[in-house]
Structure 1
Amino acid sequence: MKFIHTSDWHIGRQLHNQSLLEDQRHVLAQIVELAVTHEVDGVIIAGDIYDRSIPPANAVALLDEVVNRLVNELKIPVIMIAGNHDGHERLGFASRQMRESGLHIIGPLKPTLTPIVLKGDTGDAVFYGLPYADPATVRHLFESEVSTHEQAMVELLEQVHKHDSQGLPKVVISHCFLDGGSESESERPLSIGGADKISPSLFTPFSYTALGHLHGPQFKGEPQVRYSGSILKYSFSEQHQKKSVTLVELTAEGEASIELLPLTAMRDVRIIEGELDTLLEAGKADLHRDDYLMVRLLDKRAILDPMGKLREVYPNVLHLERTGLMANNSQLAIGRDQIKKGELDMFTDFFSQVSGEPMSEAQQTVMVDTIDELHKQERTS
């Protein structure tokens, strides 16, 4: 059994207001070709198919194009689950009708698990899709007293443990945040205060766990408990990440061999810094000056229209920082540190400064619930 594990396509995403749709089309075509080249028995997409719950029409058209190529033309089954960015009901529309064609979409979480058997030349495997679900959703569906993401995952995995796979390897597909995972700035938090973190040990009993949510390729606990990472760099914090999909080959006994297959973007995402004149001169010989760039200018003097000057050489400068001007401004430095903090930390600091005393445990609980509810509304809006 051989399959490709990918996730976090975020179709329709923008980077600093720059549409990435053509960049996504370019790299998704590579994934299709890799599926053909390696003669895989399936493609697994572990959530965040779209970038928002109501995707634009051109994003839907691109997904339709890719899925049609894989499922209808190449006859390669596809399993996709909803992530925290996806509109679960919209993604799951007509999923029962599509199942027979080889397209398996797990949108909203259901109280009954539906195992999916994929057939391979060297053996079959059973796949269990667990779409993103917060503790409140699991509590309602299963009438259980869960309050954290880990408790909710334990509840969901209980069905996987109980299911008789007839000796076939078990593969879990999930969209969650494992404790100890390396984050990027482009990932939307699932919760706050650490309540979203799940122990990697929950997944070690399975032959392979295909994870989505974290954008850097990585594994936690065991090599077979793995994030494939996003298909593109979706923030400048990811500039040093090497994007890939994961090729997994399972033996009949459930042993997994893993290979990372690199993806090549149309344009890289980079940060460059220096004084304006130096950067402009270097740009004339830069073969990759069309990359998406954040520029940190070290000049300490005022400059007329620095962005316009930069874009004459680097057409895709998306963000400009006047690092030189800010170097001696401690207040601005403090402000930037504040921006990096989470909502709860920022409000806690604000409360302490205004009231002169720290928040009580009860007050923190109220704020955690309030911010969680705002994030939930944002995901469904």
Structure 2
Amino acid sequence: MRLLHTADWHLGRLFHNLSLLDDQRHVLDQLIEIIDRENVDAVLIAGDIYDRSVPPSAAVTLLDEVLHALCEERKLPVIMISGNHDGAERLRFGARHLRQAGLHILSDLADYATPVTLTIKGIEVDVFGIPYADPEHVRSQFEVDTRDFDAAHRYLVERISEQRHPTRPCVLMSHCFVDGGSASDSERPLTLGGAESVAWEPMQGFDYVALGHLHGPQYRGGEHIRYSGSLLKYSFSEANQRKGVTLVDIDVSGVTQIEQIPLIPSREVRVLEGEIDTLIAQGRTDPHADDYLLVRLTDRHAILDPMGKLREVYPNVLHLEKPGMLDARGKQQLDRERQRFDALDMFSDFFNQTSGEAMSDEQASAMAELITQLQRDEAQQ
């Protein structure tokens, strides 16, 4: 039996106020191609299907199209759990009826100990799903003393371990932050001011653990306790990650092979650094000029409308940083006295860029007198 593990689709996501829906559609088309090419038997989606609890209608439509292609056209079983971004109640609307079509939505914590049993090619595999749940939810639902995420998750995992079939391979799905995992800027913290990580040790005995929440592909405690990673790069801190999905082969003895398959986005997420003239010259011949970019300018002088100039060659510059304008000690704010000292130089740069020529000696002298008078007036006030 071959399973495809994916997670963190975040349908409807905005990236610096830019909709990523077309980019998500592009990689989801690839996901379906991988399913066809690799003869996948079932699909596991480990939470954060949507980016927010009330998703935009276009995101709902896209999910409906993908699930129709998998469940109706290809007759594949799909098992999904809700994540911390999803609205669990909305996500599971119609879940009891959709089981007949092969779509299993596990977002009700009360059903965490009831597995979905996949019977494919003469192999039976039990899949348990733990939707995202905070300690308060677990404590009130089951009347147990769980004060942090680890205690709540451990309680659920141990109850599942006690009830699992003695001979069938067993897969666990969970949306959580496993201790020691590598996080990125695009993941919403599960809690403020408290411990949100859970231990991997209680999950060690499962044949495979399909995790969601962390956006970088990685594993903890063993290769079978794994995050597939998100569909796309959702922050510039993920620029060096390789996104993809995970193929898992299982037979009656357990997992036989795990393979990460890359997804190729329509636009990459990159970080460029350098002086503006160098970057503009580079952009004129860059074959990937449409990528989503964070630009760090190293110029130490003021530049008029740097974003506009960069977007003439790189139309998708989404964020601009100017570390070159910081002083040599790397402060995060320009020193006020330094600004005053360089006011004439800064105005000279401005004059040159707007007029196309340098100030004359007479103009520079007049501006220097004006700046001196302004500084004197400010000091007196």
Where does 1:4-43 land on structure 2 (aligned, <5 Å)? 4-43=4-43
Q: Deviations along 1:229-280, whole A, 9 cap, x unmatched?
A: 0010000000000001000001211134100011000000000011111000
Q: Which has the larger radius of gyration?
A: 2
Letter in 2 for 1:133: A
Match runs of 1:274-313 below 5 Å: 274-313=274-313
Question: Following the alignment from structure 2 to structure 1, what is the Cα–Cα distance between the partners of residues 87 and 155?
Answer: 23
CA displacement at 1:318 relative to structure 2: 0.3
Question: 2:251 and 2:38 mapped to 1: Cα distance?
Answer: 16
Q: Shift of the alpha carbon at 1:302?
A: 1.0
Contact 2:113 2:163 in 1 (8 A): no
Identity, % of aligned pairs? 53
How far, CA to CA, are the matches of 1:173 and 1:256 in structure 2?
18
Q: Secondary structure at the match of 1:172?
A: strand
Question: For the residues of structure 1 that align with 2:104 and 2:221, how far apart are their CA atoms?
Answer: 28
Note the C-alpha offset of 1:113: 2.4
CA distance in structure 1 between the partners assigned to 2:154 and 2:176 by the alignment: 12
Listed one character per residue, the Cα deviations across residues 103-154 of structure 1 (whole Å, up to 9, x for unaligned) are: 0001231166221011222522100011000000000110101111111112
Q: Secondary structure at the match of 2:109?
A: coil
Name the residue aligned to 1:195: 195
Q: What is the correspondence of 1:244-263 to structure 2 with a 5 Å cutoff?
A: 244-263=244-263
Shift of 1:53: 0.6
Q: Does the Cα contact within 8 Å between 1:88 and 1:108 map onto a contact in 2? A: yes
The code of the aligned residue for 1:190 comes to L
CA distance in 2, matches of 1:62, 1:244: 19
**2:222 matched to 1:222?**
yes
Partner of 2:369: none
* CA deviation string 1:199-241 (max 9, x = no partner): 1111110000000000000000011000000010000000000
Aligned match of 2:371: none
Map 1:137-286 → 2, pairs under 5 A: 137-165=137-165, 167-193=167-193, 195-286=195-286
Q: CA offset at residue 327 of structure 1?
A: 4.0
Distance 1:209 1:329 in 2: 46
Q: Which residue of 1 aligns with 2:355?
A: none
* Distance apart, 1:162 and its partner CA: 2.2
What is the alpha-carbon distance in structure 1 between the residues aligned to residue 110 and residue 55 of structure 2?
Answer: 23
Distance 2:186 2:225 in 1: 22
The aligned residue for residue 58 of structure 1 is 58
Deviations 1:324-351 (A, max 9, x none): 11244754269xxxxxxxxxxxxxxxxx
Between the aligned partners of 2:48 and 2:136, the Cα distance in structure 1 is: 20
Shift of residue 37, structure 1, vs aligned partner: 1.1
- Preserved CA contact (<8 Å) 1:2 1:120: no
- Alpha carbons of 1:196 and 1:254: their partners in 2 closer, same or farther (altered >3 Å)? same
**Distance in 2, Cα, partners of 1:330 & 1:4:** 46
Match of 2:119 in 1: 119
Aligned residue identity for 1:248: V
State the distance in 1 between where 2:283 and 2:300 align. 21
| Closer, same or farther: CA 194–112 of 1 in aligned 2, 3 Å | closer
Corresponding residue for 1:315? 315
Q: Distance in 2 between matches of 1:36 and 1:177?
A: 31
Residues in 2 aligned to 1:98 and 1:191: alpha-carbon distance in whole angstroms: 32
> What does the per-residue CA deviation read over 1:282-301, in whole Å, with 9 as the maximum and x for residues that have no partner?
11111111000000111111
**Partners in 2 of 1:153 and 1:164 — Cα distance?**
16
Q: Is the 8 A contact 2:112 2:129 kept in 1?
A: no
Q: Is the 8 A contact 2:112 2:130 kept in 1?
A: no
What secondary structure does 1:124 align onto?
Answer: strand
Q: Report the Cα offset of residue 3 of structure 1.
A: 0.5
2: CA distance, partners of 1:81 / 1:4 = 14
Q: What is the TM-score with the length of structure 1 in the denominator?
A: 0.85
8 A contact 1:130–1:173 mirrored in 2: yes
Confirm or deny: 8 A CA contact 2:79 2:105 kept in the other structure.
yes
Number of matched residues? 334
SS in 2 for 1:303: coil
Whether the 8 Å CA contact 1:207–1:256 is kept in 2: the answer is: no
For the 8 Å contact 2:112–2:128, the answer to whether it is kept is no
Measure, in 1, the Cα distance between the counterparts of 2:144 and 2:28.
40
Matched-pair contact (CA < 8 Å) for 1:41–1:118: no
- Counterpart residue identity of residue 206, structure 1: F
Backbone CA RMSD of aligned residues: 1.4
The 1-side partners of 2:333 and 2:121 are apart by 58
- Does the 8 A contact of 1:4 with 1:43 survive in 2? yes
Secondary structure of 1:282's match? Answer: helix
1:145 partner amino acid: D
* Alignment partner, residue 94 of structure 2: 94
Note the C-alpha offset of 1:303. Answer: 0.9
TM-score, length basis structure 2:
0.85
Say which structure, 1 or 2, has more relative contact order (CA 8 Å, 6+ apart): 1
The 1:278–1:32 alpha-carbon spacing in structure 2 relative to 1, beyond 3 Å, is same
Counterparts of 2:315 and 2:176 in 1: how far apart (Å)? 37
Please, which runs of 5 or more residues in structure 1 have no aligned partner? 335-381
Single out whichever of 60-69 and 321-330 deviates more from structure 2. Answer: 321-330
Measured in 2, the distance between the counterparts of 1:255 and 1:162 equals 21
Paired letter, 1:308: G
Q: Structure 2 CA distance, aligned partners of 1:176 and 1:163?
A: 21
Assess, with a 3 A threshold, how the Cα gap between structure 1 residues 299 and 164 changes in structure 2: closer, same or farther: closer
Which residue in 1 is equivalent to 2:332?
A: 332
